[in-house]
Amino acid sequence: MSALDAAWPDAAALPRLFAGLPRDGSPLWLDAHRAVHGPQPSAAGLIELVGAAGLRGRGGAGFSAGRKLATVAAARRRPVVLANGAEGEPVSFKDKALLRRAPHLVLEGVTLAAAAVGARDAFVAVDRNAGEELGVVARALDERRARRLDRGVTLRLAPVPSGFVTGEETALVSFLNGGAAKPAFTPPRPYERGVGGAPTLVQNVETLANMALIARLGPEWFRAAGTPDEPGSALFTISGAVNRPGVYEAALGTPLRMALDQAGGVRGEPGAFLVGGYFGSWVEPEAAVGLSLLDSDLGRAGASLGAGAIVVLPGAACGLDQAARVTRYLAGESAGQCGPCVHGLAALAGALETLVAGNADTRERAVRWLQQVRGRGACRHPDGAARFVESALAVFAAEVENHLAGRCTGRQGEFMPTGRVRP
Ligand SMILES: Cc1cc2nc3c(=O)[nH]c(=O)nc-3n(C[C@H](O)[C@H](O)[C@H](O)COP(=O)(O)O)c2cc1C
Ligand code: SF4
């Protein structure tokens, strides 16, 4: 046991990001934030600390945060920091919850990351329709300005359009550069040329908030939760057929069953689990038993954590119908600039809708389109949608047969949200 472990006997204890939150649902304003977490730490050695902690991005792709910091810090031009709080995924609310409840942890992470890479400008992107979060972040920024906490770096709030692909990093960069909030063809990637042409560190807000804790408590503290390969904790949005839908913090490696217990347990018999949000995969209840919140474990069931959104589909709902609705939504969210994405996702949605109607067996057509769209867009939108559809065809194979035989007994209609609905 290290000296740090001894100083933090309860190092693995949760919550971390949500520590000390007021019970009335209000934000942890600056004085309360300092009472819980202490004064703002130094950015000295942050890149090494984050690397040693093994922190991976919490925005969905899971890239090493230490490596990204080091790459941007080594750039020849002065970089910019862009905190990604856009969260356009309809079944994810964890970034909004973090911004709304613990804004100073995020803003500290932004300031520290900026100091570590040598940036003087930083932007915090928040959905312009997320009024509550925008108000909280604006006030938190005022608090920091009044105390002159961000010397050397200018933090700006950047309201961005709503939309599933807006949070893709090149879409955010394009919007901040005065263009449309649409993904751009790469290279260059934002870390090479981003906001204002400068190398840009794009980092999810939860990733940044973790940096603020690692700067204080060190990598060993961070690693006290999670597993050696997937250390730390993460925020999970758990919704659907659970008794207390919401955002929960859990150590990586927590059994899925325990995470669902945090959300009050599953209501009734589950039909299936969607793990990883709309870019994720459907998992059958039998396969979900025994799975843990780890990419290495979820991979056995063809799933991954993504940005930590888990939806429990009730047993009474028709999974095929829900999959068709979500696919139609994802097709509509295509930024409309890559042929395979525009036409392929619409064709996939059409194929699933035909199956729902029981009009014809369009499975083969769908499978053909899956091959056509993968890896064919400027961004990963078609790949994410393809993963979702492929897992739906496998997990809801029995439903497909029922529809083709004209005997679907499941409930149809809007269950999976395709707009902005708060849990
Ligand atoms: C279609 C699409 C949408 C995305 N939306 C978000 C988002 O809302 N928030 C986010 O942090 N990352 C989102 N990402 C991932 C970002 O492009 C980027 O990888 C991430 O912000 C990097 O931060 P991280 O390394 O801290 O996770 C999206 C990616 C894709 C392909
Ligand atoms: S792949 Fe789709 S969402 Fe991504 S840039 Fe191309 S059209 Fe837009």
Is 312 strand, coil or helix? strand
Q: Across all residues in the chain, what is the average pLDDT?
A: 94
Closest ligand 1 atom, residue 207 Cα: 26
What is the pLDDT at residue 410? 84
Q: Which atom of ligand 2 is nearest to the CA of 171?
A: 5
- What local confidence, expressed as pLDDT, does residue 75 receive? 96
Residue 29, by phi and psi: left (phi above 0), alpha (psi -120 to 50) or beta? beta
Separation between Cα atoms, residue 422 and residue 246, nearest integer Å: 9
Q: Could you give the count of Cα atoms lying within 13 Å of 167 in the half-sphere of its Cβ?
A: 25
Q: How far is the CA of 294 from the centre of ligand 1 (A)?
A: 19
Mean pLDDT score, 211-220:
98
Residue 128, pLDDT score: 96
Confidence of residue 7 (pLDDT cuts 50, 70, 90): very low
pLDDT in tens, 133-182: 999 999 999 999 999 999 899 999 999 999 999 999 999 999 999 999 99
Measured in Å, residue 173 CA sits from the centre of ligand 1 at 12
Helical ranges in 333-380 per DSSP H: 339-357, 363-373
Looking at all shown ligands, the one closest to residue 382's CA atom is: 2
Contacts of residue 30, defined as CB under 8 A and 6 or more positions apart, other chains included, come to: 104, 140, 143, 144, 147
The pLDDT, as a whole number, for residue 408 is 84
Model-wide pTM > 0.75? yes
Query: What is the structure's pLDDT at 4?
Result: 42
pLDDT confidence of residue 420: 56
Q: What is the pLDDT of residues 396-419, one digit of tens each?
A: 999 999 999 988 878 888 889 887
Q: What is the mean pLDDT of residues 349-378?
A: 93
The share of the chain scoring above pLDDT 70, in percent, equals: 97
Which of 112, 128, 160, 204 is the pocket-test mutation for ligand 1 (most atoms within 8 Å of CB)? Answer: 204
Q: Is the pLDDT of residue 353 over 70?
A: yes
Per residue in 228-283, pLDDT tens? 999 999 999 999 999 999 999 999 999 999 999 999 999 999 999 999 999 999 99
pLDDT range class, residue 186, cuts 50, 70, 90: confident
- Cα–Cα distance between 373 and 383 in angstroms, integer? 7
